[in-house]
Amino acid sequence: MNSTVQNLEKSQVELKTTIDGDTWKAAQEKAFNKISKNVQIPGFRKGTAPKNLVKKHISSNEVLMEAVDLVAQNAFAEGCEANDLFPIARPSLDLEAISEESVTLKFIITVKPTVTLGDYKELPYELERVRILKKDIDAEVEKLQNEYAQLVVKEGTVENGDTAVIDFEGFKDGVAFEGGKGENYPLVIGSGSFIPGFEEQLIGMTQEETKEINVTFPEQYQSADLAGKEAVFKVTVHEIKTRQVPELNDEFAKDVDIEGVETLDQLKDKIKKDLSDTRKQQAEQTADNKLIEKAVENASVEIPDVMITEEAQRMVQDQAYRIQQQYGLPFEQFLKMVNQTVEQVLEGMKPNAEKQVRTRLVLDAVATAEKLEANEEEVENEYTKIAEEYNMDVADVKKQIDVPSISYDIVLRKAFNFIKDSSVKSK
């Protein structure tokens, strides 16, 4: 078997393989025997007719095409091995030439792209300085106050921000409509959760007061019978509640129930530390992203379309899983709700998919250039870490993720750490 290779665009190569001699003759013989088993000749059971008689019922072209199917996979494998080709997708196959003496197969193969690295050492690492101001701490304290606020019954009238406990019933043209009735419903005034204009008309009402409220349903309302229509709601206010936030003192700090916090000053110190830790982590993440983006920008690589498509498909699958877990909705149903198709989502994912693929390829190239590898201990530690994170047995994790995949992830992290360790930190 002879083979030649020609480089094409976008990490594709053309592999031509010629099969002849005894190998090709044996393939045709095997193909003939396979086809003959299904040939029905009057007077004979399938597969029992004499060979010379069967030949009259099988065309030479049929035998040649079947023989191609029998040799193609092996020819592809041997051709890749002989020419050090590493396919990353299923190849396409064309017949260059075929006869009873020989066949030449032409494979178009997508291979792992070649990355030409630019500067990736001693790149600037721009870490933003973190400052926590008094107003930042005060804002967090206020959030805690609101979290610990309680609803208490108040006298007087309904005001914006109050919770009015109401009975209501809606009428269109004097007739009550389905879904327009509720009892003891706690409505936060100003939340915008009811029809526009409804909540505003409750302001000023007193306890046990009944009032008719006139509204117009939005044109895009979910019920076609009510969309754009005028309606009247009969509303009775039973209770008026207001949010009462706790006073800022040591008692409040204790109620927050944070270990080691007994006073308001200690609470503020804890908030300051937590804010500082979070923002430092965010600043480091931002600096990390800028660093790898620069290394990727300095490199040159032509990415095959198939790699981008496969990455985008994986991202769509991840999104479908998250939606199912978060909302309990099948992905197809969610797409109908947002008026999108899978194809549209896939296309929308491709720019980010290309970015992710490019980053991985550059990190992989850095790992190769710096001879970075994952040892057995590191692989085992990674399995243990994943098992603990997902509360699984290590053995079960190993069944789902093979060693090469784990090793690859470790090596990419090492490559990034190498770039970061060699970077020039801003002062």
Q: What is the pLDDT of residue 45?
A: 66
Q: What is the pLDDT of residue 48?
A: 62
**Contact, 260 vs 270, CB < 8 A?**
yes
Q: Which one, of 316, 314, 308, lies nearest residue 361 by Cα?
A: 308
Q: What is the pLDDT of residue 33?
A: 85
Q: What is the pLDDT of residue 329?
A: 84
CB atoms within 10 A of CB 99: 11
In the numeric block, which tokens belong to residue 118?
């630019």
Task: Write down the CATH number for the domain with range 2-110.
Answer: 3.30.70.1050
Q: Could you tell me the CA-to-CA distances from 163 to 153, 156, 159, 181, 311 in Å, in that order? A: 9, 13, 9, 18, 48
Q: What is the pLDDT of residue 60?
A: 87
Question: In the chain, where are the structural domains located?
Answer: 2-110, 150-244, 264-425
CB atoms within 10 A of CB 115: 21
What is the rounded CA–CA span in Å between residue 283 and residue 279? 6
* Residue 327 Cα to chain centre, angstroms: 15
What is the rounded CA–CA span in Å between residue 323 and residue 337? 12
What is the rounded CA–CA span in Å between residue 272 and residue 277? 9
What does the DSSP assignment read for 35-82? HHTT---TTS-TT-S-HHHHHTTS-HHHHHHHHHHHHHHHHHHHHHHH
Task: Name the CATH superfamily for 264-425.
Answer: Trigger factor, C-terminal domain (1.10.3120.10)
- 150-244 carries CATH number 3.10.50.40: yes
Each of the 427 residues of the chain gets a pLDDT tens digit; together they read 789 999 988 889 999 999 999 999 999 999 988 888 777 676 666 666 667 666 777 788 988 999 999 999 999 999 999 999 989 888 999 999 999 999 999 999 999 899 999 999 999 999 999 999 999 999 999 999 999 999 999 999 999 999 999 999 999 999 999 989 999 999 999 999 999 999 999 999 999 999 999 999 998 888 888 999 999 999 999 999 999 999 999 999 999 989 999 999 999 999 999 999 999 999 999 999 999 999 999 999 999 888 999 999 999 999 999 998 888 888 998 898 888 999 999 999 999 999 999 999 999 999 999 999 999 999 999 999 999 999 999 999 999 999 999 999 999 999 999 999 999 987 6
State the greatest distance between any 2 C-alpha atoms of the chain, in Å, as a whole number.
107
pTM (whole model) above 0.85:
no
Q: What is the pLDDT of residue 138?
A: 96
Q: What is the pLDDT of residue 65?
A: 93
CB atoms within 10 A of CB 121: 14
In the numeric block, which tokens belong to residue 414?
């090492």
What does the DSSP assignment read for 287-330? HHHHHHHHHHHHSB----HHHHHHHHHHHHHHHHHHHHHHH---
- Sequence-distant (6+) residues with CB within 8 A of 380 are none
Burial of residue 11 (number of CB atoms within 10 Å: 0-12, 13-18, 19+): buried
Q: Residue 232 forms beta bridges with which residues?
A: 171, 214
Element (H, E) at 105: strand 102-110
- Residue 282 carries which DSSP code? H
